[in-house]
C-alpha cells in the first residue's frame, strides 16, 4: 500500500473466534469500514459462518497458516500443507482463495515467501503492533494505534488466541477517532493481477 493520502489498514490475526470476531465485525459495520482478517485454518474450519459474513461485508480474508506454527522451524512440505489447507477452507467458506498471507509471529523465511507466491498470495506484514495479545489494557492499545497512526500504516491486532475483549473495546474507541482525524481505513490492493 502506498503511503499517499491518509489511508491505513486494520488487520486482525488468529481468528475467527466466535467470542470476539462478531463484535469486531459489528464495530466495523457500524462505521462502514473494511478490514483484513488473517485467519488460521483450524479456527476458520470451525467458524465458516464468520468467513461468509466477512465476504458479505466486504472484508478481506488472508492466510495465517493452519495451526499458527513457527514457519522458520518447518520444512517446505509442512509449510505448504499449512498454507494449502487454510486456503482450501477460505475458498470454501469465503468464496475465493486468499490473495494475502502473513507468517505467524512475523517469522518469515525464503520458503514461506516462495510457497506463498506459488499459491498466488502476496505477503503482508504490519507497521504498528498493538501487542494486544499481551493484554496491556484497552487504553494502552488505543494509545498505540493513535501514536502510530500515519499514512500507509498497517495496524496489527488479534481477534483470537486468548481473551481479546480489550482488543474489541479498543477498536470501539480508536476507530471513530481515526475516522474523525480524516483517516480512510481500507483493505490491501494487489500489485499484480
Q: Active-site residue 59, yes or no?
A: no
Cα 24 to Cα 92: distance, rounded to the nearest angstrom: 22
Residues near 75 by beta carbon (within 8 Å), at least 6 away in sequence? 111
pLDDT of residue 3: 47
Residue 190's pLDDT is 64
Q: Quick check: is 1 in a domain?
A: no
pTM of the model: 0.95
Overall number of domains in the chain: 1
Angle of the 165-180 helix axis to the 138-148 helix axis, nearest 10: 40
Parent domain of 19: 7-186
- Whether residue 179 lies inside any domain: the answer is yes
Angle between helices 48-56 and 21-30 (to 10 degrees): 10
Residue 164 lies in a domain: yes
Give the whole-angstrom CA distance, residue 150 versus residue 144: 12
Could you tell me the mean pLDDT of each successive run of 10 residues in the chain, 193 residues long?
Answer: 74 98 98 98 97 97 98 96 98 97 96 97 97 97 97 97 97 97 90 49
Query: Quick one: pLDDT at residue 1?
Result: 47
Given 13, 14, 17, 159, which residue is catalytic? 13
Which residue among the candidates 59, 64, 68, 158 is catalytic per the annotation?
A: 158
Amino acid at each position: 500500500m502506498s503511503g499517499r493520502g491518509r489511508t491505513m489498514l486494520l488487520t486482525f490475526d488468529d481468528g475467527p473466534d466466535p467470542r470476539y470476531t462478531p463484535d469486531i465485525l459489528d464495530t466495523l459495520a457500524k462505521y462502514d469500514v473494511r478490514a483484513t482478517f488473517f485467519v488460521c485454518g483450524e479456527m476458520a474450519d470451525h467458524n465458516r459462518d464468520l468467513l461468509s459474513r466477512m465476504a458479505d461485508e466486504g472484508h478481506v480474508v488472508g492466510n495465517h497458516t493452519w495451526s499458527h506454527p513457527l514457519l522458520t522451524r518447518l520444512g517446505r512440505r509442512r509449510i505448504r500443507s499449512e498454507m494449502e489447507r487454510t486456503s482450501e477452507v477460505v475458498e470454501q467458506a469465503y468464496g475465493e482463495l486468499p490473495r494475502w498471507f502473513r507468517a505467524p509471529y512475523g517469522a518469515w523465511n525464503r520458503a514461506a515467501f516462495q510457497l506463498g507466491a506459488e499459491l498466488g498470495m502476496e505477503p503482508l506484514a504490519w507497521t504498528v503492533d498493538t501487542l494486544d495479545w499481551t493484554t496491556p489494557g484497552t487504553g494502552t492499545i488505543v494509545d498505540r494505534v493513535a501514536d502510530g497512526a500515519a499514512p500507509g500504516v498497517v495496524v496489527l491486532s488479534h481477534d483470537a488466541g486468548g481473551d481479546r475483549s480489550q482488543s474489541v473495546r479498543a477498536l470501539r474507541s480508536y476507530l471513530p477517532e481515526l475516522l474523525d482525524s480524516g483517516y480512510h481505513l481500507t483493505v490491501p490492493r494487489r500489485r499484480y493481477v
